């Protein structure tokens, strides 16, 4: 999917705003392939959720890696530092500097993308990337609160990047008011960046287009 997105980006103005459009195209092709293979609807949906969640991380990392490198920062993922045996001394130190204490245990927060600098190692930001939330909207705010409790990690910014495909956090105005997901995430996180057009969501100081993440990173890096 990443290679197709690179091609899509070459022919699209401001492709970071069109991730939702790109994913819809991918979904159509994915479902068509699975139908031709005779796969059941529920299995097809489950396979798509897993597939798109994994690839969205790669697409987002592709969008920001050059920017961070130009600023003298590096990027890694929690998947690379969760193993018991890490060959890299640098990544081992990154792991220790984002670990959250639970008494005698130390756990790593969900961190799809970790931005850090070297000499010395300093974690600047953790970015969670989700396609949708359902009842999982408290996960990332929970880790932000845990990081705030420790003086070693309280400076780490925690952001969310999402196409919010089910519009769970995109709007605040309705008869019932904003959804719980919007209230909790906007209140607790340092920023939420939506991969969709500006007229497809209601912005605020913390909820902005994915294009604004570059301004935010410029500010903190």
pLDDT the model gives residue 76: 93
Q: What is the pLDDT of residues 44-83, one digit of tens each?
A: 777 887 787 778 888 888 888 888 988 899 999 888 888 7
pLDDT the model gives residue 135: 74
pLDDT the model gives residue 75: 94
pLDDT the model gives residue 214: 87
Domains of the chain: 2-220 (3.40.91)
- The pTM for the full model equals 0.86
Rounded distance, CA 106 to CA 90, Å?
Answer: 19
pLDDT the model gives residue 174: 66
Q: Between these two residues, 163 and 141, which has the higher pLDDT value?
A: 141
Task: Name the residue among 120, 189, 124 with its Cα closest to residue 161.
Answer: 189
First to last CA, the chain: 29
Lowest-confidence region among 33-37, 119-123, 139-143: 33-37
Binned at pLDDT 50, 70 and 90, residue 12 comes out as: confident
Task: Name the residue among 105, 113, 204, 180 with its Cα closest to residue 146.
Answer: 105
């Amino acid at each position: 999917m990443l290679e197709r997105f690179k091609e899509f980006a070459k022919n699209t103005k401001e492709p970071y705003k069109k991730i939702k459009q790109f994913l819809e195209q991918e979904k159509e092709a994915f479902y068509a392939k699975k139908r031709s293979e005779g796969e059941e609807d529920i299995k097809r949906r489950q396979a798509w959720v897993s597939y798109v969640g994994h690839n969205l991380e790669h697409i987002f990392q592709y969008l920001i890696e050059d920017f961070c490198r130009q600023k003298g920062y590096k990027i890694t993922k929690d998947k690379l530092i969760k193993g018991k045996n890490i060959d890299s001394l640098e990544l081992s130190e990154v792991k220790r500097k984002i670990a959250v204490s639970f008494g005698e245990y130390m756990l790593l927060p969900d961190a799809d993308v970790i931005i850090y600098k070297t000499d010395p190692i300093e974690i600047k930001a953790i970015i969670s990337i989700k396609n949708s939330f359902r009842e999982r909207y408290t996960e990332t705010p929970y880790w932000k609160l845990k990081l705030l409790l420790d003086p070693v990690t309280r400076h780490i910014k925690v952001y969310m990047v999402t196409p919010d495909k089910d519009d769970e956090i995109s709007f605040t105005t309705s008869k019932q008011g904003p959804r719980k997901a919007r209230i909790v995430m906007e209140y607790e996180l340092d920023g939420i960046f939506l991969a969709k057009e500006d007229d497809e969501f209601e912005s605020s100081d913390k909820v902005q287009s994915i294009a604004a993440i570059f301004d935010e990173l410029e500010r903190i890096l």
